[in-house]
Amino acid sequence: MTSLAALKSKLLTDPAVKAEYDRLGPIFSVVSEMVEARQTAGLTQAEIARRMGTTQSVVGRLESGRHMPSFDMVSRYAAALDRRIDIHLVPRHSADVALAGSPI
């Protein structure tokens, strides 16, 4: 049986797959944080929906990771959890990290 990590490594050798994986990474990161925060709070999708003034199906779609949620929806979701959004722009590549702190 192939492990998930081995399968991922193999698939990411294909440039088209790697490009799509990189494109979707931020979406999965945001969605993962949202779901983790909801679960940590011990709330269901229906409870979050009520707090947001929407339906459970909207929350389900937000948490599916199929589309990048709007900033407004992520903000409403965070507020429903009594949380705030904290965004950071970071260098894309590790070489950029070394250069970011270096004087020119």
DSSP string, 13-32: TSHHHHHHHHHHHHHHHHHH
Which H or E run includes 85? none
Domains of the chain: 15-100 (1.10.260.40)
pTM flag (> 0.75): no
Confidence check: pLDDT of 39 > 90: yes
Q: How high is the pLDDT of residue 102? A: 43
The angle at the Cα of 36, spanning 10 to 91, to the nearest 5 degrees, equals: 55
Average pLDDT over residues 40-63: 97
CB 48 within 8 A of CB 77: yes
The angle at the Cα of 8, spanning 7 to 10, to the nearest 5 degrees, equals: 65
